[in-house]
């Protein structure tokens, strides 16, 4: 009997052989890190820092790349499940390189779009270079990829709203939070002076609702600690990375806050806030949250935490409960994109939140988080390139939440391994041969599926066609010069099958072909 540890040892040996540097019987660090990076596991990933310490540093002193021996490598595989998953291409996007290539194409096409204008209601936003464009992706397995200005900071603005809502939910629960804020799209612009029929803000994704979330977070504490809580939450969401604060943005926001004050007074008049809410403090807290700064490189990890039901994929820390994230994503889907939310939910079918800085956070549940930044906005306040990127992405990949209902489509599903895709195509070809579906056979051949492939039992399309009396298919396969006498696991050839099931015409066709073509090779794979 084969034991699990034998399988593990075999895997370890094969992986070691792939990574081994010549005859040195060791793996060098650069090669190892390169290989991991191709699967999306980057050198700054906190999950591999401990492991990197295993590489011998003596070599570093001699300016050589440090190495590890086979025994050390085996130990690493035993202790670090991530490495094994990555090297055996078992992460959530198995062929990450191919996926990134496609994303890069979409990014470059989208970059050509120069429409829209930067927000100009405060000078700090009006002065931002409109040409910035950044994109970062982080999967729920922590595979990362970035393009453009992904290390340049920008302020969160409205993209802080979902997180404040999560914080309020975690602390007070759904019932309490929603006794102060609704969960319907407003049908009005984000800062419109309007409340719902109960005198409450329509939802937490617009200004009035976001101020309400701020009034609810950690209210027994002083304002400095309350801000600290939000700030620390963003750092945890970003994978324990430092997140900064733009004081100039904060001061400007505070100075140009008439509409937000009007909204706050309107809510106070309707007794929407919890008792003893300090209005000015609440508004300032809200402006501070909008002025938190980070870059797409880190914010993609925050988005991936939402995609991963509240657990950070890089640190493994649980930031929010899954039920909190579920509520938040539901409202991001219906209300996250200003007055374009309905259209976005229809076309893209994914939860997202944008902000007037040009930020966009897109969540593909159970798969990945995406952070995009491009400051030019459309007339509704959404980043023009951000929206275009999402449209193109969902056109190419089966990411829309209802794509699975459409069945066979030309969209790519990067969640599947190439080998799995090919295996399922082989099965489709064999099934088409047995049903006599020539159109399907042409289509699969055009996709590159070889008519000489066989299933687990060594049954080829020719076996099945001969067995089921599919004369036209047999004729086509002979014309394609397939192997005429492949043997299945019971030792039978297609000719044996034709005889057994008494398909005379097929029997003659095969006998003639065997005489003239002499391609009766018995090996079929």
**Residues near ligand GLU (CB under 6 A):** 157-158, 190-191, 207, 253, 260, 290, 355-356, 381
CB of 161 to ligand GLU, least distance (A): 8
CB of 290 to ligand GLU, least distance (A): 4
Closest to ligand GLU by CB, 33 or 380? 380
Closest to ligand GLU by CB, 253 or 284? 253
With CA atoms as reference, report the closest residue to 376 among 28, 132, 154: 132
CA Rg value for the chain? 29
Let me know: does 190 contact 319? Beta carbons within 8 Å: no
Residue 513 buriedness (CB in 10 A; 0-12 / 13-18 / 19+):
buried
Q: How far out from the chain centre does Cα 464 lie?
A: 40
CB of 211 to ligand GLU, least distance (A): 8
With CA atoms as reference, report the closest residue to 255 among 291, 231, 211: 291
For residue 213, give the 3-state DSSP assignment.
helix
CB of 282 to ligand GLU, least distance (A): 13
Report the interhelical angle of 279-290 vs 247-255 (nearest 10°).
140
74, 79, 83, 84: CA torsion to nearest 10: 70
CB of 398 to ligand GLU, least distance (A): 30
With CA atoms as reference, report the closest residue to 475 among 487, 458, 486, 461: 461
Which helix (H) or strand (E) segment holds residue 427: the answer is: helix 418-435
Closest to ligand GLU by CB, 207 or 334? 207
CB of 277 to ligand GLU, least distance (A): 18
CB of 201 to ligand GLU, least distance (A): 13
Pairing of strands 359-364, 368-373: antiparallel
CB of 287 to ligand GLU, least distance (A): 6
Closest to ligand GLU by CB, 214 or 356? 356
Closest to ligand GLU by CB, 29 or 159? 159
Closest to ligand GLU by CB, 253 or 497? 253
Paired tokens of 136: 């970062």
Paired tokens of 156: 């969160």
Let me know: does 59 contact 65? Beta carbons within 8 Å: yes
Cβ neighbors of 96 (< 8 A, separation 6 or more) are: 38, 39, 40, 139, 143, 145
Closest to ligand GLU by CB, 377 or 509? 377
Question: Residue 197 gets which letter from DSSP?
Answer: T
Closest to ligand GLU by CB, 55 or 250? 250
């Amino acid at each position: 009997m084969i034991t699990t540890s034998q399988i593990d040892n075999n895997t370890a040996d094969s992986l070691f052989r792939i990574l081994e540097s010549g005859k040195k019987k060791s793996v060098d660090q650069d090669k190892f890190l390169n290989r991991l990076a191709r699967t999306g596991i980057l050198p700054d990933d906190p999950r591999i820092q401990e492991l990197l310490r295993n590489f011998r540093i003596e070599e570093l002193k001699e300016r050589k790349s440090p190495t590890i021996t086979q025994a050390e490598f085996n130990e690493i595989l035993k202790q670090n499940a991530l490495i094994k998953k990555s090297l055996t291409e078992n992460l959530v996007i198995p062929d990450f390189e191919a996926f990134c290539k496609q994303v890069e194409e979409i990014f470059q096409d989208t970059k050509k779009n120069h429409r829209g204008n930067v927000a100009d209601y405060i000078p700090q936003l009006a002065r931002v270079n409109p040409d910035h464009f950044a994109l970062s992706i982080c999967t729920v397995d922590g595979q990362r990829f970035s393009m453009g200005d992904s290390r340049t900071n920008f302020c969160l603005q409205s993209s802080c709203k979902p997180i404040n809502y999560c914080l309020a939910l975690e602390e007070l629960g759904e019932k309490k939070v929603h006794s102060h804020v609704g969960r319907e799209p407003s049908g009005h612009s984000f800062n419109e002076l309007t409340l719902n029929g109960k005198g409450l803000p329509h939802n937490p994704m617009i200004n009035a609702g976001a101020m309400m979330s701020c009034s609810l977070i950690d209210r027994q504490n002083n304002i400095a600690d309350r801000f600290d809580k939000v700030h620390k939450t963003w750092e945890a969401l970003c994978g324990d990375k430092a997140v900064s604060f733009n004081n100039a943005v904060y001061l400007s926001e505070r100075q140009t806050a008439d509409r937000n004050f009007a909204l706050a007074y309107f809510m106070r008049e309707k007794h929407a806030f919890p008792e003893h809410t300090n209005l000015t403090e609440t508004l300032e807290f809200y402006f501070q949250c909008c002025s938190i700064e980070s870059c797409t490189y880190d914010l993609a990890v925050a988005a991936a935490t939402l995609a991963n039901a509240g657990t950070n994929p890089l640190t493994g820390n649980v930031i929010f409960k899954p039920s909190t994230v579920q509520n938040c994503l539901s409202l991001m889907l219906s209300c996250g994109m200003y007055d374009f939310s309905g259209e976005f939910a229809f076309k893209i079918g994914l939860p997202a939140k944008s902000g007037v800085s040009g930020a966009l956070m897109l969540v593909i549940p159970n798969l990945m988080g995406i952070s995009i930044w491009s400051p030019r906005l459309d007339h509704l306040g959404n980043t023009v390139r951000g929206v275009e990127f999402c449209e193109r992405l969902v056109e190419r990949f089966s990411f829309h939440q209802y794509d699975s209902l459409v069945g066979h489509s030309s969209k790519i599903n990067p969640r599947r391994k190439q080998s799995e895709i090919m295996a399922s195509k082989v099965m489709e070809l064999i099934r088409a041969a047995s049903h006599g579906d020539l159109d399907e056979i042409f289509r699969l051949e055009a996709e590159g599926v070889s008519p000489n492939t066989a299933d687990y039992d060594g049954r080829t399309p020719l076996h099945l066609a001969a067995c089921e009396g599919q004369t036209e298919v047999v004729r086509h396969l002979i014309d394609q010069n397939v192997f005429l006498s492949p043997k299945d696991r019971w030792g039978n050839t297609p000719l044996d099958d034709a005889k057994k099931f008494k398909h005379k015409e097929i029997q003659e066709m095969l006998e003639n072909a065997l005489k003239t073509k002499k391609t009766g090779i018995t090996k079929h794979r």
